[in-house]
Structure 1
Amino acid sequence: MNHDLQLHALSRAFSRAGLTPEQLWMRYFALGGAAGLMEVEAYLHGLMPLPALQRDMLAHAINERFDELNQPHRVPYTFPAQASGPLLDGLRKAPPERLVLPVDDDRRSAGGPVSS
């Protein structure tokens, strides 16, 4: 996903999620986020970039909030440019920690080694 598109989606979702910046940061930090509160706020305002993994953790924190609110909205996650077609479409809403599962399943069905 394009950095600018993800930033726009994150900013819009943040305003819908009903969280304060501190609440969002606490959720993000609990997921393993490495940026500080000021960096997260600066990112949401488009003042500084964040690495893809950190953006995905923010997206996941907001998506978890949407789950709590039973809202269908989702912030998309970052994907490699090589991913395409049904794989990309099917994984677009998956949380980052689950993205390795389809690769492991493919290796298992092919009889190859599975990373742990």
Structure 2
Amino acid sequence: MGDEATVLSGTKLANQVLQEVERDVDSWISAGNKRPHLTVVLVGDNPASHIYVRKKIKAAAAVGISSEIIVRPKDISEEELLDLTVQLNKDSRVSGLLVQLPLPGG
């Protein structure tokens, strides 16, 4: 009957998704829209978070999305971080905003 396993290639599927997103970004820009821009806020010095953010930036570049990383020290106050997100939310250049988790304690 149907006991056979189906093997899926995660790498192949991921590449197909990236190609599709890249085509969508190209179409978006060709239609006269501005290039999407991702801003990532990275708080503290968690090595895993830094690696993860670099991968996000690399993926964005691969599909034609511009990006930037804003690094803040681990002792940033909650108020300062909220003010920064409000400021970035008002920035017309920013299409997407990501605050990388986990945030340091405090």
Q: Calculate the TM-score normalised by the size of structure 1.
A: 0.26
Q: Calculate the TM-score normalised by the size of structure 2.
A: 0.28
Higher relative helix content? 1
Higher relative contact order (CA 8 A, sep 6+): 2
